[in-house]
């Protein structure tokens, strides 16, 4: 399954059987809670899943959004109606940067048919497609989480990848350079990492750029089809949109996906023995 689905294709899929399971994962780093937006309106049949509390474990040394416990994730997904033999479509407000976390987690957990709604809720409503405030009743999906279907790297492996392959930093340029750091104890980036801001994967409407355009962008960053590549961000959320962009561009695929440094900068910066590079160059 392609990692993106258009609003028109989703509308058609919702009229078929079995129709996709819909997950609303609207989220913002600084709030307000996405559940508030869900209550105001959401796609018919969509179930809200909380990124902070359900798609991540408790913050700690492993980072601000560590990977969830597999058993806990399985409970969340089953409660949302997720089954292995039924496609899943996830969406957020617009640019897919939060929905990509759910996309990646489902893939990591072994689900083979997951897509992000291109343009998210903003594109859906801009086209006049139906929304509701009705909350679906309890579901009982049968999905079994089998973790490990997507590669994960730790801090040492991220450092090695920055030296020997390509490690992409998904944060905004000012955070990559170390000009500001609003969340973590130190500013800067992993030495050798290259900046690939997640906000540049989509246009002004939140819809994803064309595959050829993204492929050219990644090539400029040194990513080719035979390059070992991984990504990180502040806490392992928006880095997932880099992984989705790589697959959308055809640079990687489901058989050979890029790796996620799940702890990301929040894990790296918590260890004072690890160096931090600053400025616009990888360092």
Catalytic residues: 233
Strand duo 229-232 + 259-261: pairing: parallel
Q: Residues 6 or more apart from 19 whose CB is under 8 A from it?
A: 13, 45
- CA pair distance 65, 263, nearest whole angstrom: 7
Torsion of CA 175, 173, 123, 257, to 10 degrees: -90
Query: In 10 A of CB 52, how many CB atoms?
Result: 16
What is the SS3 assignment for 57-102?
Answer: CCCECCECCCCCCHHHHHHHHHHCCCCCCCCEEEECCCCCCCHHHH
- CA pair distance 169, 160, nearest whole angstrom: 15
- Residue 240 CA neighbour count, 13 Å, CB half: 27
Strand duo 21-24 + 4-5: pairing: unpaired
- CA pair distance 270, 60, nearest whole angstrom: 9
């Amino acid at each position: 399954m392609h990692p993106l689905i258009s609003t028109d294709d989703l509308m058609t899929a919702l009229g078929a059987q079995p129709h996709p399971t819909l997950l609303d994962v609207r989220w913002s780093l600084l709030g307000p809670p996405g559940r508030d937006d869900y209550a105001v309106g959401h796609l018919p049949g969509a179930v809200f899943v909380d990124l902070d509390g359900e798609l991540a474990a408790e913050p700690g040394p492993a980072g601000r959004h560590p990977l969830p416990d597999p058993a806990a994730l399985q409970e969340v997904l089953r409660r949302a109606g997720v089954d292995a033999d039924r496609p899943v479509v996830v969406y957020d407000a617009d640019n897919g940067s939060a929905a990509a976390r759910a996309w990646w987690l489902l893939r990591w957990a072994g689900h083979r048919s997951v897509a992000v709604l291109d343009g998210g809720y903003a594109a859906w409503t801009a086209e006049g497609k139906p929304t509701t405030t009705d909350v679906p009743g309890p579901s009982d999906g049968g999905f079994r989480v089998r973790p490990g279907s997507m590669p994960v790297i730790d801090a040492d492996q991220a450092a090695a990848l920055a030296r020997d392959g390509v490690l992409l930093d998904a944060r905004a340029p000012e955070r990559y350079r170390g000009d500001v750091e609003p969340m973590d104890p130190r500013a800067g980036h992993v030495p050798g990492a290259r900046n690939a801001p997640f906000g540049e994967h989509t246009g002004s409407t939140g819809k994803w750029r064309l595959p050829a355009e993204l492929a050219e962008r990644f090539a400029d960053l040194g990513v080719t089809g035979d390059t070992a590549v991984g990504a990180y961000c502040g806490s392992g959320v928006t880095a997932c949109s880099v992984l989705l962009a790589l697959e959308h561009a055809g640079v990687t695929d489901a058989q050979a996906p890029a790796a996620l440094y799940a702890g990301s900068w929040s894990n790296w910066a918590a260890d004072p023995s690890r160096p931090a590079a600053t400025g616009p160059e990888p360092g």
